[in-house]
Chains A and B, each alone.
Chain A
Amino acid sequence: MPINRTARIARTAHDKAHLNRLGVPEFGVVQIQIQGQGGSKSKSYRDGSSATPTAPATTGVDTFHFAPGPQYNVATWAVDNNLKDDVQIVYKLHNPQFAIATARLELFTRFAATPVWTRDLTGDELLHGEHKLQFNAQDNWDGKIDPHTDFPDQFLTVEYSPYKLKLTITGPGVNTSPAAWTYFHVIIGKLELEYGPKDVLPVQPANPEGGIHRDTYDDLITQSATPPAAGGSVKVFLNSDMFKTNGNQMMDNTLFTRYETLWGDGPQIPLFCKVWVKSSANTDIVAYKALGKLKFLWDWESTAAASATAFASSAENYLVNKTKPKGRNCHEKRGGKRASTRAVFPDQAGTAPGAIQAGSFPFQVEAVPTPRKWAAYSYAWNDGAAASKTGVIFQPARMAGDKYKVTVYVDQVFDRKKKYKLNVDTDAPLTSPAVLKAVTGDFQIWRRINLRKYIKKNGSVAETINMATVAAEYAKAFVELKDLTGGVIQNVAQGDWNNRETTAINGLSATRQRMIMPGDQYNKGGGGVYLRTRDQYIEAWMEEAGADLDALGLGAALTPALRAALVDAAKNNPSNEPAFDNAVTAAFTNHGGALTPVDQSSLQGAIDSHWITVVDFMADPSNDMQNDDNYRGIAKIIGKTIVGAAFDPDADANSGCTIFHCDKLHDVGSSLLGWAFDVTNGNGNRCGFLLCATQADHSAGDSIENTATHEFGHHFFLPHTVDAGERKNYHAHDESVTTCIMSYNVPTEFCGFCQLRLRGWDKDALKTKASKNSKT
């Protein structure tokens, strides 16, 4: 290809032979590199046709990186002006004849046709030889560029890395190497997960039932200051001291709806991620201006394993491989979040960098667009208390037993259409260098119900419920029955017990008060209330005939002996009228010699009236004392009233459960093992369980621990199983299981239906036949 050049030369005289020589000036860029700490440098490139007398250096690497901008001190997480990762832009020109007229440095980002920064070299910067580009009369460059919309902080960032720095020259003459360039990066050093501060969580009014995110947070921190590492796990406890307030709530879906009201879309856990940038010396530093609006993709996986109980496992096996993400966590159709549009990482508006504001989440979070729409993007702060950090509110479903693994990725790579590489719907884990992600262990959701107090009547109550056994049964449903008693068992004070029972007894009618065995009820033993048997009751009432006789006002005519004989006649013959009549006759014969006929008639009438009143009353079925069985029925009614009153004031004032324990409800044949005790002003967040039986009262294979588990189950909204002779079709049990703890059979464990309800699942969405809950 011809090249045209204009040259001017001096004319030569006609008699002279001197020679004019025409020389064409040559110039070019030899190389450009960025040099970092510790001798690191980038690699310089030219095109293949470029040539200069001095060959470019062959040192340098394509992976050169540095960390632009100021840095935080890791210990203080505040700016430390002594920390910097400045680099030098070093270039070499071939320009012996000062031919370079223009030289321009241009900085390009990925796929960009126009530079984000340019700088024209002038003056001495164009001279032949090697130069270090000066910034503010210094050799060092901190990565700062001129103002640009993509770089609001004016520092180069990871967001647009890698970068191309190109030096282009022009001038008259032969430009043998018109350009050289080099590549460099601003890259992530590492990601490190941590819990964000509690302050970012919502400020909620106190709720004794639970539902307070900060309580769950405190518990997490107590377990470990940092989120579980990959392979590890942590339990996320959701306080839910919520108990039924009426019997129908066991049959309906109140457990689900109340738990939903309490915990809504689940606990809020602030997960933060510290973002470290790799320095030119290959160390991880906090270059908080070097991240830009980098996208951090938060992804979750459902990692729950199959339950041991077949029914629960079958229900978990619902579209396991069809949902995104796949897994066995509770499906949205049963109230969970698997396949739900309710975000595990909900959107956050974020706040301006600075101090973290109480009750506000600092980072902007938005849902990833389709296809990976269950994930979320977050962005980092470039200043302030959470600079070089990003994060999300991790909000797993409230369903106990669900298990989550969280991964945060740097989603920095995009194509020319700005489609980000990690926004795909493939199963986790996504393909990403290890350095660009951080993975947690498993967060497993647990409900927590607090056991506050264990109270016995007195020291005569010898047995003690093994609460670990009870708790182990609930643990199968991922419910922690948290024993806060510290192993302390309290006794009711003797005075309190007797006073409370007396008050309750005084509230009964006279016919019921007579059932109570006289004496110090507390000292009689470990039983709840000590009663007269039906026979003793009749005897006692017959003895009261003496008062009727006294009321006649006969004075000395009613001798003590006659009085005693008449009373004995009634007392000793309560069911034999002829014998009673004979005894009365004998009493008058033996002791009534001094009586006038009128007085004897009065006494005869009084004793007869008393006797027949007792007999009729005791036979009247409306009085519920016509036989021992009915008498026991009334004993149960008043026994529960009296014993309940004796224990109730000692119930713990805080939300949760109190155990009350006596040996028997009463001593006239009580078969009651225990009951779900409604404490006064329980308000649905305090409850009690009263055990009134011993191990020996239980059938073989049954135990007081089973009774405790069973009765607490009632408080926790679980009904009995379907009885054989009295069908109650309330769809609340695995129909194939006859030994659920909520049955009256010798139990094995909670049936799967009960377990799922305890876990918070939607009862209305479950069938009683296991296979009908499964779908593939």
Chain B
Amino acid sequence: MEIRIQLPQTSYVTGEEIQVDVTVRNTGSEAVTLPLLNDPYGPQPYFVISGPSFPKPHRFYWGGKPPSGSQPPRQTRSIAPGQALSSRLSLPPNLVFRNPGAHELYATYEWNGTVFESNRVTVTMEAPGPPLFRVVGRTPLSSEVSIQALSVNGSGLYLATFIEDRPDIGETEFGGITRLATIDAGATDFFAPWCQTAQAGVIGPRFGWRTGNAITVAGFRKLPQRLDLPFTPRIYGPSLMGANGDIDLLVTSDAGTKLSLLRFPNVAYNQQPPPARLVWTSGVQTPISNLAATINPSGARFAVLRQGGAISLVTWDDSGPHIQPPLPFDGNPVDAVAPALHASMSGVVRASVLTADPANPRRVSLTEFTWRPNAAPETKAGAPFDLPSGIHSGTVAYSMSAVESPRRDWFFVLDDHRVESSLSGGKARPTKRVVSLPPQLLVMSQVTYCMAYYEKPLLVTIQ
């Protein structure tokens, strides 16, 4: 019996899926029957890794937790002499590389009481950069896909995935990150979409960035779609991806005096994308200081514009925007926190704006605006609360799902480096984790998570 391994790539970022091609060859003279290598109930193979993250060699079952043996392998195959069994296995995502550098990996396969060792290969872990995540929004009421986020590391654009294992208790599992595309040098202002659907399919989320006056959108095997603009755009929030894969992005001019809609039509795998276009540009009297946008499962798209001391609801079609009369709010808007926006299935739109007391910038409050179909908008000022420090960066978010009674939570990273949330009981707390800025908040069905990084990407229950 002989076992050999090889890697499709040799360099990885922390959390990136490490795939290993494994071949087990029957070098004997008789046929042998073996479980498929990727059989979840097969007892083999194991891997051994050593290096900066594992000063002592660490042995582990290929799939993580070894099967209990209570269930036989699902599939076996007869391997004739000289024939081989091959499979591409992914190392378990709970294999944490705390230190960058070259690691040695080999596999073992036990047959008839003898343990066969494979050749050695080198796995090089790159030093992690500052974590940058952008959550993929999924507004549908039920989802068939994992929680996903854009992750940027060096020149790579990655997709980080998480499974909400236990919505009831806020338990999540990191599913690893997978490289999607290479980004342009000097790229900034990364954005991810809010999606009309949450189903698997050939229309996957695409992500974007800005390079000077150009905005580019790309995805897994979705070639870059670049749009050069005659002005330097400001990007505030998510793009909106419809069920057909077309992506809308609202941007403003640098001064905030113009609002523009950009469209990036859908593109198939490995196909040249159709051209992106500037659909319209509309001037506004009061400069836009921030905006938020969302899409609901029926495809209805909404945005709110924060202009001075007021907020406006915007809908649009290809002819231009329809901006409703502004609704004023008291206090000064907090620049470090974007408006929060939610659209329910029935088309009720809620937005929240964080404002500060002009006389006491640390005394803040949330004002909520509600637009119901065929009804006058409502404004509800929240009770003010005091923060121990200024807000360095923060997020207010509603339920991801397009429910009719959404929850609303907030999470602030304060100037003193502590964090405070709507569920922390009015107390700021230190944290060892690195929070991606602005905080990526996921208000799920039962608990609310914040995306952070500590040895690997995490979804942390806010409290």
B residues 58-81 in Cβ contact with A at 8 Å:
63-65, 67-71, 74-75
**B445's closest neighbor in chain A, by CB?**
A246
A residues 221-270 in Cβ contact with B at 8 Å:
244-248, 250-252
**How long is the Cα–Cα vector from A629 to B270 in the complex, in angstroms?**
25
Cβ-defined contact, B144 with A638, below 8 A: yes
Cβ-defined contact, B269 with A248, below 8 A: no
Given A251-B461, A622-B204: A697 touches B74 (CB 8 Å cut-off): no
Task: Decide yes or no whether A551 CB sits under 8 A from chain B.
Answer: no
**B62's closest neighbor in chain A, by CB?**
A628
Chain A CB count within 10 A is highest, among B269, B445, B454, for B269
A residues 630-644 in Cβ contact with B at 8 Å:
630, 632-634, 636-638, 641
Given A575-B88, A616-B269: A720 touches B40 (CB 8 Å cut-off): no
**How long is the Cα–Cα vector from A533 to B73 in the complex, in angstroms?**
12
- Chain B nearest CB: distance from A358 CB in Å? 40
**How long is the Cα–Cα vector from A622 to B178 in the complex, in angstroms?**
9
Partner of B168, one of A509, A617, A678, A726: A678
What 1/0 flags go to B259-273 for Cβ under 8 Å of A?
Answer: 000000000011000
Given A629-B63, A725-B96: A613 touches B146 (CB 8 Å cut-off): no
Cβ-defined contact, A730 with B463, below 8 A: yes
Cβ-defined contact, A629 with B144, below 8 A: no
Given A575-B88, A725-B455: A246 touches B446 (CB 8 Å cut-off): yes
- Chain B nearest CB: distance from A758 CB in Å? 16
Cβ-defined contact, B220 with A622, below 8 A: yes
**How long is the Cα–Cα vector from A245 to B205 in the complex, in angstroms?**
32
A residues 123-149 in Cβ contact with B at 8 Å:
none
Partner of B38, one of A534, A675, A676: A534
Cβ-defined contact, A623 with B204, below 8 A: yes
- Chain B nearest CB: distance from A411 CB in Å? 47
**B70's closest neighbor in chain A, by CB?**
A696
Task: Decide yes or no whether A524 CB sits under 8 A from chain B.
Answer: no
Contacts of A624 in B (CB 8 A): 145-146, 161, 175, 200
Task: Decide yes or no whether B346 CB sits under 8 A from chain A.
Answer: no
**Chain B interface category by residue count:** 35 or more
Cβ-defined contact, B175 with A630, below 8 A: yes
Cβ-defined contact, A726 with B458, below 8 A: yes
**A697's closest neighbor in chain B, by CB?**
B68
Cβ-defined contact, B461 with A728, below 8 A: yes
B residues 176-222 in Cβ contact with A at 8 Å:
176, 178, 180, 199-202, 204-205, 219-221
Chain B CB count within 10 A is highest, among A511, A535, A620, A694, for A620
**A728's closest neighbor in chain B, by CB?**
B461
What 1/0 flags go to A662-674 for Cβ under 8 Å of B?
Answer: 0010011101100
Cβ-defined contact, B17 with A627, below 8 A: yes
Task: Decide yes or no whether B426 CB sits under 8 A from chain A.
Answer: no
Cβ-defined contact, B446 with A620, below 8 A: no
**Chain A interface category by residue count:** 35 or more
Partner of B40, one of A630, A669, A730: A669
Contacts of B136 in A (CB 8 A): 622
Task: Decide yes or no whether A481 CB sits under 8 A from chain B.
Answer: no
Given A247-B461, A632-B40, A726-B454: A622 touches B202 (CB 8 Å cut-off): no
What 1/0 flags go to A727-739 for Cβ under 8 Å of B?
Answer: 1111000000000
Task: Decide yes or no whether A714 CB sits under 8 A from chain B.
Answer: yes
Given A534-B38, A726-B458: A627 touches B166 (CB 8 Å cut-off): no
Contacts of B204 in A (CB 8 A): 620, 622-623
**How long is the Cα–Cα vector from A257 to B461 in the complex, in angstroms?**
22
- Chain B nearest CB: distance from A386 CB in Å? 50
Contacts of B445 in A (CB 8 A): 246
Task: Decide yes or no whether B82 CB sits under 8 A from chain A.
Answer: no
Cβ-defined contact, B463 with A511, below 8 A: no
**How long is the Cα–Cα vector from A244 to B429 in the complex, in angstroms?**
26
Contacts of A540 in B (CB 8 A): none
**A629's closest neighbor in chain B, by CB?**
B90
- Chain B nearest CB: distance from A109 CB in Å? 62
Task: Decide yes or no whether B109 CB sits under 8 A from chain A.
Answer: no
Given A247-B168, A247-B169, A247-B170: A629 touches B200 (CB 8 Å cut-off): no
Task: Decide yes or no whether B423 CB sits under 8 A from chain A.
Answer: yes
**How long is the Cα–Cα vector from A728 to B463 in the complex, in angstroms?**
9
Chain B CB count within 10 A is highest, among A616, A629, A729, for A629
- Chain A nearest CB: distance from B417 CB in Å? 17
Cβ-defined contact, B161 with A621, below 8 A: yes
Cβ-defined contact, B168 with A251, below 8 A: no
Task: Decide yes or no whether A198 CB sits under 8 A from chain B.
Answer: no
**How long is the Cα–Cα vector from A624 to B41 in the complex, in angstroms?**
21
- Chain A nearest CB: distance from B37 CB in Å? 10
Contacts of B176 in A (CB 8 A): 629-630
**B162's closest neighbor in chain A, by CB?**
A633
Cβ-defined contact, B40 with A627, below 8 A: no
**How long is the Cα–Cα vector from A280 to B401 in the complex, in angstroms?**
82
Contacts of B428 in A (CB 8 A): none
**How long is the Cα–Cα vector from A725 to B95 in the complex, in angstroms?**
12
Cβ-defined contact, B175 with A620, below 8 A: no
- Chain B nearest CB: distance from A242 CB in Å? 15
Cβ-defined contact, A622 with B68, below 8 A: no
Contacts of A591 in B (CB 8 A): none
- Chain A nearest CB: distance from B422 CB in Å? 10
- Chain A nearest CB: distance from B432 CB in Å? 7
Cβ-defined contact, A628 with B40, below 8 A: yes
**How long is the Cα–Cα vector from A664 to B72 in the complex, in angstroms?**
13
Given A248-B446, A714-B169: A626 touches B67 (CB 8 Å cut-off): no
**How long is the Cα–Cα vector from A725 to B286 in the complex, in angstroms?**
49
Contacts of A626 in B (CB 8 A): 17, 178
Contacts of A669 in B (CB 8 A): 40-41, 63, 67
- Chain A nearest CB: distance from B443 CB in Å? 11
**How long is the Cα–Cα vector from A252 to B448 in the complex, in angstroms?**
14
**B168's closest neighbor in chain A, by CB?**
A676
- Chain B nearest CB: distance from A746 CB in Å? 14
- Chain B nearest CB: distance from A754 CB in Å? 14
Chain A CB count within 10 A is highest, among B88, B446, B454, for B446
**How long is the Cα–Cα vector from A637 to B166 in the complex, in angstroms?**
10
Task: Decide yes or no whether A625 CB sits under 8 A from chain B.
Answer: yes
Given A535-B36, A629-B93: A612 touches B144 (CB 8 Å cut-off): no
- Chain B nearest CB: distance from A255 CB in Å? 14
Task: Decide yes or no whether B296 CB sits under 8 A from chain A.
Answer: no
- Chain B nearest CB: distance from A401 CB in Å? 26
Partner of B169, one of A512, A632, A694, A719: A719
Cβ-defined contact, A511 with B40, below 8 A: no
**How long is the Cα–Cα vector from A620 to B19 in the complex, in angstroms?**
14
Cβ-defined contact, B161 with A625, below 8 A: no
Task: Decide yes or no whether A653 CB sits under 8 A from chain B.
Answer: no
Cβ-defined contact, A629 with B145, below 8 A: no
Cβ-defined contact, A622 with B199, below 8 A: no
Task: Decide yes or no whether B89 CB sits under 8 A from chain A.
Answer: yes
**B201's closest neighbor in chain A, by CB?**
A511
| Known contacts A247-B167, A624-B146, A668-B74; 18 further A-B pairs (Cβ under 8 A) | A247-B170, A251-B461, A512-B144, A534-B38, A616-B221, A619-B220, A621-B161, A622-B204, A628-B63, A629-B64, A633-B161, A634-B145, A637-B163, A675-B166, A697-B68, A714-B169, A726-B460, A727-B432
Q: Interface residues, chain A, CB within 8 Å of chain B?
A: 244-248, 250-252, 508-509, 511-512, 533-535, 575, 612-613, 616-617, 619-630, 632-634, 636-638, 641, 664, 667-669, 671-672, 675-676, 678, 694, 696-698, 714, 719-720, 725-730
Closest A-B pairs by Cβ, 3 of them: A669-B40, A696-B70, A621-B178
Q: Interface residues, chain B, CB within 8 Å of chain A?
A: 17, 19, 36, 38-41, 63-65, 67-71, 74-75, 88-90, 92-93, 96, 136, 142-146, 148, 159, 161, 163, 165-171, 173, 175-176, 178, 180, 199-202, 204-205, 219-221, 269-270, 423, 429, 432, 445-448, 454-455, 458, 460-461, 463
A-B contact pairs, 13 of them (CB 8 A): A247-B168, A247-B447, A248-B448, A250-B169, A252-B463, A511-B199, A512-B144, A533-B40, A624-B200, A628-B40, A634-B146, A637-B144, A727-B432
